[in-house]
Chain A
Amino acid sequence: MTNLQSLFIGHEHYLDQLADHWLAQGAQQLRVVSPNDEVLFAYPNHSIQNGTTPTLTNIHVSATQANKPLFVLHVDLLSPMIKDEVDAYCERLQYDANALLRMIRLENELEAMTVELVETQDQMLALYQLARSVRGELDLNTIIDVLVQEAIHILNVEAVCILLSTQHPMLILTHPHPMISDSALRKHFKEIRRTKREISGAQLQGSGGQAKNGIIVPLYAREKIVGCFGFFNRDDSFNAPSLKLARAIAEEASVQIEKSLLYQNTLSQARMRAELDVAANIQTQLLPQTIPDVENVDLYAASIQAKQVGGDFYDFTYKEGIPLTISVGDVAGKGMSAALLMAMTRTVLRTWIKTLATNQAAPVLAMVNDDLYDDYTQVNSFTTVFVGRYLPESGILRYANAGHSPVIHYTPEVGATLMKAEDMPLGILPDIAFTDQEIKLQSGDILVVATDGFSEATDPDDNMFGYDQLEKAIEKHAHEPAQVIARTLFDTVDMFSAGTEQSDDMTLLVLKIL
């Protein structure tokens, strides 16, 4: 069948109607003839001696498309006519030829539109199917697996690939086999990110693979290009509807990937928070749960952790053969590294307090520094520590202070005074010559060892609490038991800060001689 014949398929009824009309007017035959004189249709379809019967007058007109004759319409009229009559018939026939052509063309267009509509509907259905198959799925790898498999079917391509830059290392997935090299894909992705445009056609040439046709479309998450989706070797190459569909698939993929990334983010944040909670719990549990019962000594300690895990600690040791030993420390920095160093420092300190055969404090600090100097250096931190060893029989407190403040000594006669540190913190130098100090504590004396979270607590105007206010508060409540003094100091700082969030832990140890 020729192209011309196929043009009329399904529209024969128009030809029938036209022929009936002319035959009723007295015409003997109507024919549709190709430009090279081949008769395609004849009404009636019996042989007439074409133009040989002298009584017949043949008129014919061309139906043209884009200035070229498409077909010629012939009518054989009975009896001879004058020229005016022939002209009038020709004019009518020309009108009919044009109308026939227009009708056929419109119908064909309508048909094409219907096909496109059906195709669009199919595509929408396919996209719906795609959305459905990944609905409820949150795992990124599963989502991507489903996307690539479905995309192959929906778009009728030989292979697809996805690149995602949100993952480390960059995620590249090809299905069922690579069409361009990974390095080429990375290069295309860079280009897409720079130009914010898809890559297709000639741009894909020289990509080091077997891509005959294809398109690579950007993938967006939170309005940023985070990857790209490539579709390769479509059976009928990429026409306008299939390009549209490829973009629609990429858009759906973007939505699904963004959803999964958001979920991952939330999940990892929750995990991190849970880990920090665990660390904070461990830290709290590392602090002594009971306070040693020592004759004539009223002892109390408490610690309030800031929002982030910090590095404050306090400890007591009191057992046979060992003086009542108190320690308060503050590891520089925050977060997990500070928390871990705090736990290590506390353990090593405790071990040396128990095992070193001395009543002095300085040798203990020297051993701890020796053990932990490299670790402190490794994580760029240091620790201030106060270690005090009290012998109830003599009332002597021996202490060594590695850069720790504030330590306040209150006596009923003199009031509160700041006991300044003699030595630098642990972890500053590999060898530190710590020195032992000695004071005699008497009834009514109070020793308060706090961390700088106390003295550096700030009010809404960014003023610091400072040492003076701390000393005054101790003097004011010196007659109270250790626990009440400690609670009052916490309350005083709390009132001072007036709801301002504190960035540092606050730790306080109160030792009062009864």
Chain B
Amino acid sequence: MEQTILHKDGIAILRLAGRFDAFEADTVKAKLTDAIESSSRVIVDLTQVNFMDSSALAVLVQGMKHCRQNNGDLYLSNLQDTVRTIFELTRLDKAIQIYDTTDEALNAFKA
């Protein structure tokens, strides 16, 4: 799956595209670790992600813990309905902040 990292106002934005499952978990984990090393404030933009399994969720949870250990945080943005449902059903939406747009997530960091 495609993965790109951008930086805006000292915040790392990791943009993912495609199916995010156990087969992709290791490569996304590596990319996310790169992003976190550059900044402990990370937004994962999931606009192009249409499926996530529990291994994928585990990668994001690990990233979230990692950011918080470094006094930062990990926010999610632009979730497709199917992906948002996964977060709602597992109630991971209680643990990880989800924003409708990346701009909203950026503003939340700056606030």
Q: Which of B36-44, B57-65, B71-79, B99-107 lies at the interface with chain A? A: B57-65
B53 within 8 A of A: yes
Minimal beta-carbon separation of B74 from chain A (angstroms): 12
Question: Using a CB-CB cutoff of 8 Å, which residues 372-427 of chain A contact chain B?
Answer: 377, 380-382, 384, 402-406, 420-425, 427
Contact A334 B22 (CB under 8 A): yes
Contact B54 A428 (CB under 8 A): no
Contacts of B90 in A (CB 8 A): 384, 403-405, 421, 424-425
B94 within 8 A of A: yes
Query: Which of B53, B57, B59, B94 is A456 in contact with, Cβ under 8 Å?
Result: B53
Size band of the interface chain B makes with A? 10 to 19
A452 within 8 A of B: yes
Question: Using a CB-CB cutoff of 8 Å, which residues 426-466 of chain A contact chain B?
Answer: 427-429, 452, 456
Contact A332 B55 (CB under 8 A): yes
Contact B54 A333 (CB under 8 A): yes
Contact A403 B55 (CB under 8 A): no
Question: Using a CB-CB cutoff of 8 Å, which residues 11-52 of chain B contact chain A?
Answer: 21-22, 29
B1 within 8 A of A: no
Query: Which of B21, B29, B58, B91 is A422 in contact with, Cβ under 8 Å?
Result: B91
Contact B89 A332 (CB under 8 A): no
Which of A403, A406, A423 lies at the interface centre, i.e. has the most chain B CB atoms within 10 A of its CB? A403
Q: Which residue of A lies closest to B93 (CB)?
A: A424
Contacts of A384 in B (CB 8 A): 54, 90
Contacts of A424 in B (CB 8 A): 90-92, 94-95
Query: Which of B22, B29, B88, B95 is A429 in contact with, Cβ under 8 Å?
Result: B95
Contact A333 B91 (CB under 8 A): no
* A interface residues, how many (CB within 8 angstroms): 27
Minimal beta-carbon separation of B48 from chain A (angstroms): 17
CA distance A456 to B92 in the complex (A): 18
Q: Which residue of B lies closest to A422 (CB)?
A: B91
Contacts of A402 in B (CB 8 A): 91
Contact B61 A421 (CB under 8 A): no
Contact A423 B54 (CB under 8 A): no
Given contacts A377-B65, A428-B61, A503-B22, contact A423 B91 (CB under 8 A): yes
A504 within 8 A of B: yes
CA distance A344 to B18 in the complex (A): 34
CA distance A194 to B44 in the complex (A): 42
A330 within 8 A of B: yes
Given contacts A334-B55, A380-B62, contact A425 B88 (CB under 8 A): no
> How many CB-defined contacts (below 8 Å) exist between A and B?
61
Which of A380, A406, A420, A422 lies at the interface centre, i.e. has the most chain B CB atoms within 10 A of its CB? A380
Question: Using a CB-CB cutoff of 8 Å, which residues 325-349 of chain A contact chain B?
Answer: 330, 332-334
Q: Which residue of A lies closest to B55 (CB)?
A: A333
Q: Which residue of B lies closest to A433 (CB)?
A: B94
Contacts of B88 in A (CB 8 A): 420
Contacts of A404 in B (CB 8 A): 90
Contact B95 A428 (CB under 8 A): yes
Minimal beta-carbon separation of A424 from chain B (angstroms): 4
CA distance A402 to B58 in the complex (A): 15
Query: Which of B53, B58, B89, B92 is A381 in contact with, Cβ under 8 Å?
Result: B58
CA distance A456 to B52 in the complex (A): 10
Contact A330 B62 (CB under 8 A): no
Contacts of B59 in A (CB 8 A): 380
CA distance A114 to B62 in the complex (A): 75
Q: Which residue of B lies closest to A458 (CB)?
A: B51
Contact B95 A504 (CB under 8 A): no
Contacts of B89 in A (CB 8 A): 403, 405-406, 420-421
Minimal beta-carbon separation of A435 from chain B (angstroms): 11
Which of B21, B53, B89, B95 lies at the interface centre, i.e. has the most chain A CB atoms within 10 A of its CB? B89
Query: Which of B21, B58, B92 is A380 in contact with, Cβ under 8 Å?
Result: B58
CA distance A427 to B65 in the complex (A): 10
CA distance A330 to B91 in the complex (A): 15
Given contacts A334-B22, A382-B61, A428-B61, contact A452 B92 (CB under 8 A): no
CA distance A381 to B58 in the complex (A): 6
Question: Using a CB-CB cutoff of 8 Å, which residues 129-168 of chain A contact chain B?
Answer: none
Contact B53 A403 (CB under 8 A): no
CA distance A428 to B58 in the complex (A): 9
Q: Which residue of B lies closest to A334 (CB)?
A: B22
Q: Which residue of A lies closest to B65 (CB)?
A: A377
Contact A504 B94 (CB under 8 A): no
Given A428-B92, A429-B95, 18 extra CB contacts under 8 A = A330-B54, A332-B54, A333-B55, A334-B22, A334-B55, A380-B62, A382-B61, A402-B91, A404-B90, A405-B89, A406-B89, A420-B88, A420-B89, A421-B89, A424-B90, A425-B91, A456-B53, A503-B53
25 pairs across A/B with beta carbons < 8 Å?
A330-B54, A332-B55, A333-B54, A334-B22, A377-B65, A380-B29, A380-B61, A380-B62, A381-B58, A382-B61, A384-B90, A403-B91, A405-B89, A406-B89, A420-B89, A421-B91, A424-B90, A424-B91, A424-B95, A425-B91, A425-B92, A427-B61, A429-B95, A452-B53, A503-B53
Closest 3 CB pairs of A and B: A332-B54, A403-B90, A332-B58
Q: A residues touching B (Cβ–Cβ < 8 Å)?
A: 330, 332-334, 377, 380-382, 384, 402-406, 420-425, 427-429, 452, 456, 503-504
